[in-house]
Structure 1
Amino acid sequence: MEFIFQTFELYHAFLLIFGLLTGILVGALPGLTPTMGVALTIPFTFSLGATEGLIILGGIYCGSVYGGSIPAILFNVPGAPASVATTFDGYPMTEKGEARKALEIATISSVIGGLFGMAMLLFFAPLFADLSLKFGPTESFWVAIFGLTVIAAISEGSTSKNLIGGSIGVMLSFVGIHTITGTTRFTFGMDSLVGGFHVVAVLIGLFAFPQALRIIEKLTSIDKRQPLIYKVKKSSIKQSFVDVLGKPKSVSLGSMVGGFIGLIPGAGGNIASILAYNEVKRFSKNKQFFGKGEKKGVIASESANNAMVGGSLIPLLTLGIPGSPTAAIFLGGLLIHGIWPGRTLFIDNAEVAYTFLYSMIAAQLFLLVLGLSLIKYMTKLSAIPGYIMAPVILSFSIIGAYTMQNNIFDIHTVILIGFIMFFLQKLTFSPAPIALGFILGPIAEEGLLHGVQVGSSHGSALSYFFSGGINIVLFLLIFFTVVVSFIQKIVIHKENSLKQCCVALKWKHLFYPSAIVWLIVAILDIVIIISIQSLPFEQRLFPQITLSILLGLIIIEYMKVIGTNHEQKMKMMPNTIPFKWSMLPILLFVTIVSFLTEVIGFYLQVLLLMMAVPLYFRFVKKNKDIVLPKVFFTAIIFTLILFTVFTLIVKVPLPVPDIF
């Protein structure tokens, strides 16, 4: 009781609320991840006591994980890697006018998941710490593979295209220094590629940048004024509680999966939310509603990534092994304050440890009140006109990419990947499988190579991967997921169409432009497989496996194209907004301006973007409802706000023009 009273002291409660609000802001800004939020705050805790410093860091950790759901739901832009799965159903709910409902159930689910994770931490830490020690390289490998195979089950559209996207993401993760050998690969002699692609830059490029381009595209496809991106329907908090608590299977599965994945060192909330989403969809009777605004999808994702917070702190506090990237930064905060994690933590530093634990539970309660109170203000963001929101997203995309490493190459990564992803979505590719492949690729490769090395020392690498209860269970889950997905998406739904494709196959189909493209890609894949034979075994093993799987998927797509006549092909195409060549100039302009950050400076770039898009619609599209003085005023005020926050307060070094 003494520790509980200390937690709710006015000073400690104030610090906790401050940390939560800061964390929510960090999570809501694309590019500012929970890891970055905790890392930036650690220096400000030097002058505080150990208890006070940890309370602030804990509040930021919890708040930032929750805050990532806000842009994920409102704009289809995950504020953090752990919020990728929230976009699957959160943004479709916004499109249907249920943004307020989505934010409410996300807040409630986050709190329930967070409480579950903290209960694990408080009552079962020693037990689960022993379990986390049983996860070796093979277990990590199977968990990563399980996450990759989930792509086929959770993603809408063509299974083969989704798996191709996952393979592309895995291949992007190969670029840079190989973690096992310490040597570079696939850098093509470019120094910028030595460090590889940063995960935040890739996620912003896959989700945020193309979303801004799509907003511009939608504005060009309408003739009338559209002041609101999506209208927001009214919602009842009481009914939202009923929606969450009335679906105990979704929130329970999400919390359990999230807490369990948090135990695995290095896994993180991104894997937790994806796997939880898959399991809830697997056990749902209405699988067809997922990806179209299903509440259970939001509940599963948000309960999982918040339960992961408590789970990741278990191996950290009891063994000194961080269970997530953010927990690894958190470890630095503990050591700076002279606290050494381990089994003696709760004996030598009992007052600090228990006060911190109870403050993490209190954080969930405060988060519930803060989150629900802020929703009515959050939903007002959807009332921002598209010609203003698009440059705002572009500006945050650029600053979010740069602030991670102060590297211009990260900005170029965002722009190139974003521009390519915009057109890939026209070809019905989804960004989620690519993101998942990029995140899980390094975990799978490290687990594979370490498992091969350890297994060889035990006599047989193959038997090592299939020995042990955890390995067997994970393998069976993977097998079950693949078989069920095959039956549901190929045998049941495609059986008749496959027969028709075989009948419709004609020689002229071989000369379809899309068939020729797939053939060229297949040849390129084969060339790459042959060319990497000169690499050391450790560097080429997993790339060869990935490229071989990719080749098989490309052949499947090739056969589908040549086995489908033109009329069938048109029926199979989804209802998307056709690309208008008239919008190409504005797309190229915003892309080029974004690319010139180092030349013109960040703040001049923001001004140009904020004014260029509205001016385009005012003079080119003849939208007389756009008031020019209001546009100029908004652009200047927004730029000044960014300057105040990032230069005067946070003091982030941003690109300035070369003349300075």
Structure 2
Amino acid sequence: MDFFWQAFELYYLLFLFFGLLIGIIVGALPGLTPTMGVALTIPFTFSLGPTEGLIVLGGIYCGSVYGGCVPAILINVPGAPASVATTFDGYPMTENGEGRKALEIATISSVIGGLFGMAMLVFFAPIFADLSLKFGPSQSFWIAIFGLTVIAAISDGSTVKNFIGGSIGILLSFVGINSVTGITRFTLGTDSLIGGFNVVAVLIGLFAFPQALRLIESLTSINKNKPIIYRIKGSSIRESFADVLKKPKSVTIGSVVGGLVGLIPGAGGNIASILSYNEVKRFSKNKENFGKGEKKGVIASESANNAMVGGSLIPLLTLGIPGSPTAAIFLGGLLIHGIWPGRSLFVDNADVAYTFLYSMIGAQILLLFIGLALIKYMTKIAQIPAYFMAPVILSFSVIGAYSMQNNVFDIYTVIGLGLIMFFLQKFNFAAAPIALGFILGPIAEEGLLQGIQVGTSKGSALSYFFSGGINLLFVALIVVTISLSVFQALRGFKWRQPNQVFLTKRLSIGSIFWIALGSLVALVLFYLQGMQLEQRIFPQITLVFLLGLIVIELVHSFGKGNEGISEHIKWSNLPIVLVVVIISSLTSIIGYYTQVLLLMMIVPLYFVYIKQNKDIKIKRIILTSVIFTLVLYCLFTVVFQVPLPLTPVLF
């Protein structure tokens, strides 16, 4: 109890408040992930004591995971990988004028989930640490496959296309060095691909960059005097509390799933939020409302990714095994203060350990007041006109991609994937399945290859994968999930007469697309024949599965005309899109701040020129561009000292 009251002393609360505030800012800035926030802050804790240093790092961890919901809800850009699922219903709520309501619900759900995760950390750490040790290669493989099978449920639209997107994400994860064999593959002779695609660059490319391009594309279709500004309706905090508490199933599923996923080493908040979102949608009576502004979706996602924080710290503090990428960085913060995780942590450093644990409970309570107090300022983001918001998103996309590894190739990854995703959305593809496939692909392949080795040494690889309670539980869940997905797909499938399917006079745009994609997949399958078995077994399984799905879509596309395309490409907007892409790709040559200034001026000037809008003054555009560039300079160069691509860098 002495440690409990010590954690709530004003001295420690000030450090906690500072950490939470910095964390919220880091999470709210697209591209600055919780992992980056903790990593950037560790050097500043050198001069602090172990207790103070850990409280600051813990506050940043909690605050940044929560802060990621702010841009996810207001501008459809996940501020952190753990906020991907929040965009599914959070941004539609903003489009419906309920941005403030969504933020209030997210804040309350985050606190409830965070308290559940911290309760697990304080009371059940030894028990859950023993459970996490039972997850071997086969269990990791099956939980990854289970995560992949829920792809069809997390996004609206065609079930087949969602699975195709997931397969594409898995294929992207194969590029680089295989973590099991240590041999490179699919690098095309390019040194920059040896390390594979960076996960942050991929997520920014799938979600943030195409969102900016869509905003630019929308500039010519909006009313002359009314640029895209989403109206924010009033909201009562009391009503928001009632919205969350009246949906106990959503917050309970989110908290439990998030806490349990946090226990699994390497899983992270992105998997926790997506899985909990899927489970809440599965048990909902109104599944059709998800993706259109359903409050349960926001509650499930935010309660899960915040519960994951406490869960991920359990194996870290008790076994020295981080449960998430951010927890891995947190481990470094422990070690630099001379604290070793494990059983001795709660004996030799009991004062530090217990004060830190209780302060994390206090962090959730403090987060409630800070988050609710900042909401009225956060909603101002949604009031930014589209012609300014688009270059802002592009600027954060570039800095977020580059600063993770100081690699210009990550910027090109964002631009390339962003363009591809921008056009794929014309064919009703969603970004979430691709992101989930990229995240879970390496976990599934590593579990498969290691499981085969372990099973072979025990006499039977097949028996190793299909024995044990945990394995059988996940196999059963996978079978049920796939069966439900197939049933839903067949129920929504529109059968055509043979003469309608095969006797078309001309190929549709969709048919040409599927033929080209199928040919590319067949070519890659032929290329794989020269690889070792360990290198090609999982890619072959994925490609064969993908080819089968492409054939299904190809047959379905015959006779449809172009009805499968959600919207035609607006060719008149391609010049400004290309200009934006070229300027973004030249960041390493012209410098980051020059790129920001150019984008902030060119995009609104394009809007003024096309729409002949007399209300937008040129002086205002120039002044806003200069001020925003100076703010970014003070933020990234002076305060955070984030590395920037200021000079040409060859890759």
User: Is residue 210–residue 422 contact of structure 2 (8 Å, CA) maintained in 1?
Assistant: yes
1:521 equivalenced with 2:511 (yes/no): no
User: Is residue 315–residue 321 contact of structure 1 (8 Å, CA) maintained in 2?
Assistant: yes
User: Is residue 510–residue 516 contact of structure 1 (8 Å, CA) maintained in 2?
Assistant: no
Structure 2 stretches lacking a partner, 5+ long = none
- Which runs of structure 2 are paired with 1:127-206 in the superposition (5 Å)? 127-206=127-206
User: Is residue 510–residue 565 contact of structure 2 (8 Å, CA) maintained in 1?
Assistant: no
Look up the SS of the partner of 1:275 in the other structure: helix
1:97 maps to a residue whose letter is: G
What's 2:424 paired with? Answer: 424
What's 1:383 paired with? Answer: 383
Change (3 A) 1:378 1:535: same
User: Is residue 112–residue 303 contact of structure 2 (8 Å, CA) maintained in 1?
Assistant: yes
1:553 maps to a residue whose letter is: L
- Which runs of structure 2 are paired with 1:443-462 in the superposition (5 Å)? 443-462=443-462
Mapped to 2, the partners of 1:95 and 1:142 lie a distance apart of: 37
1:408-443 deviation digits (Å, cap 9, x = unpaired): 100111111111111111111111111111111111
- Which runs of structure 2 are paired with 1:488-567 in the superposition (5 Å)? 489-494=488-493, 497-498=494-495, 500-502=496-498, 504-508=500-504, 511-562=507-558, 564-566=559-561
Mapped to 2, the partners of 1:53 and 1:65 lie a distance apart of: 19
- Which runs of structure 2 are paired with 1:55-70 in the superposition (5 Å)? 55-70=55-70
Mapped to 1, the partners of 2:509 and 2:423 lie a distance apart of: 16
User: Is residue 17–residue 59 contact of structure 2 (8 Å, CA) maintained in 1?
Assistant: yes
What's 1:208 paired with? Answer: 208
User: Is residue 158–residue 489 contact of structure 2 (8 Å, CA) maintained in 1?
Assistant: no
Mapped to 2, the partners of 1:373 and 1:517 lie a distance apart of: 49
What's 2:52 paired with? Answer: 52
Mapped to 1, the partners of 2:599 and 2:426 lie a distance apart of: 24
- Kindly state the Cα deviation for residue 519 of structure 1 after the two structures are TM-superposed: 2.2
- Kindly state the Cα deviation for residue 565 of structure 1 after the two structures are TM-superposed: 3.9
Mapped to 2, the partners of 1:501 and 1:402 lie a distance apart of: 52
Look up the SS of the partner of 1:552 in the other structure: helix
- Kindly state the Cα deviation for residue 650 of structure 1 after the two structures are TM-superposed: 1.9
1:442 maps to a residue whose letter is: P
1:342-361 deviation digits (Å, cap 9, x = unpaired): 11211111110000000100
Mapped to 1, the partners of 2:482 and 2:617 lie a distance apart of: 55
TM-score (norm 1): 0.96
What's 1:613 paired with? Answer: 603
1:331-352 deviation digits (Å, cap 9, x = unpaired): 1111111111111211111110
Change (3 A) 1:9 1:437: same
2:556 maps to a residue whose letter is: K
Mapped to 2, the partners of 1:533 and 1:565 lie a distance apart of: 36
What's 2:582 paired with? Answer: 592
- Which runs of structure 2 are paired with 1:72-471 in the superposition (5 Å)? 72-471=72-471
1:642 equivalenced with 2:641 (yes/no): no
- Kindly state the Cα deviation for residue 627 of structure 1 after the two structures are TM-superposed: 1.1
Mapped to 2, the partners of 1:386 and 1:521 lie a distance apart of: 33
User: Is residue 227–residue 384 contact of structure 1 (8 Å, CA) maintained in 2?
Assistant: no
Mapped to 2, the partners of 1:191 and 1:12 lie a distance apart of: 47
1:193-247 deviation digits (Å, cap 9, x = unpaired): 1111100000001110111111111121123222452101111110110110110
Mapped to 2, the partners of 1:524 and 1:128 lie a distance apart of: 45
User: Is residue 226–residue 385 contact of structure 1 (8 Å, CA) maintained in 2?
Assistant: no
Change (3 A) 1:509 1:54: farther
1:122-144 deviation digits (Å, cap 9, x = unpaired): 01111111100001111111111
What's 1:30 paired with? Answer: 30
What's 2:476 paired with? Answer: 476
Mapped to 2, the partners of 1:446 and 1:362 lie a distance apart of: 38
Mapped to 2, the partners of 1:347 and 1:419 lie a distance apart of: 54
1:165-214 deviation digits (Å, cap 9, x = unpaired): 11111100111111111121100101111111100000001110111111
1:327 maps to a residue whose letter is: A
Change (3 A) 1:217 1:565: closer
- Kindly state the Cα deviation for residue 647 of structure 1 after the two structures are TM-superposed: 1.3
Look up the SS of the partner of 2:504 in the other structure: helix
Change (3 A) 1:565 1:30: closer
Change (3 A) 1:321 1:523: same
User: Is residue 508–residue 560 contact of structure 2 (8 Å, CA) maintained in 1?
Assistant: no
TM-score (norm 2): 0.98
Look up the SS of the partner of 2:180 in the other structure: coil
- Kindly state the Cα deviation for residue 7 of structure 1 after the two structures are TM-superposed: 1.2
2:631 maps to a residue whose letter is: I
User: Is residue 426–residue 565 contact of structure 2 (8 Å, CA) maintained in 1?
Assistant: no
User: Is residue 509–residue 565 contact of structure 1 (8 Å, CA) maintained in 2?
Assistant: no
Look up the SS of the partner of 2:351 in the other structure: helix
Mapped to 2, the partners of 1:368 and 1:448 lie a distance apart of: 42
- Kindly state the Cα deviation for residue 523 of structure 1 after the two structures are TM-superposed: 2.5
- Kindly state the Cα deviation for residue 476 of structure 1 after the two structures are TM-superposed: 0.5
2:588 maps to a residue whose letter is: E
Mapped to 1, the partners of 2:34 and 2:505 lie a distance apart of: 50
1:291 maps to a residue whose letter is: G
Compute the RMSD of aligned alpha carbons. 1.4
What is the number of equivalent residue pairs in this alignment? Answer: 649
1:505-552 deviation digits (Å, cap 9, x = unpaired): 232267334323322322221221121111111111110011011001
Mapped to 2, the partners of 1:144 and 1:61 lie a distance apart of: 25
- Kindly state the Cα deviation for residue 501 of structure 1 after the two structures are TM-superposed: 4.9
1:605 maps to a residue whose letter is: Q
Look up the SS of the partner of 2:420 in the other structure: helix
- Kindly state the Cα deviation for residue 5 of structure 1 after the two structures are TM-superposed: 1.9
Q: Which of 587, 591, 599 matches 1:601?
A: 591
Look up the SS of the partner of 1:342 in the other structure: coil
User: Is residue 23–residue 67 contact of structure 2 (8 Å, CA) maintained in 1?
Assistant: yes
Mapped to 2, the partners of 1:429 and 1:502 lie a distance apart of: 27
User: Is residue 227–residue 383 contact of structure 1 (8 Å, CA) maintained in 2?
Assistant: no
Mapped to 2, the partners of 1:156 and 1:139 lie a distance apart of: 29
User: Is residue 152–residue 162 contact of structure 2 (8 Å, CA) maintained in 1?
Assistant: yes
1:275-308 deviation digits (Å, cap 9, x = unpaired): 1001111111111111111000000000000000
Structure 1 stretches lacking a partner, 5+ long = none
State percent identity of aligned pairs.
70
Mapped to 1, the partners of 2:591 and 2:344 lie a distance apart of: 51
Look up the SS of the partner of 1:214 in the other structure: helix
What's 1:10 paired with? Answer: 10
Change (3 A) 1:121 1:516: same
Q: Which of 606, 609, 613 matches 1:623?
A: 613
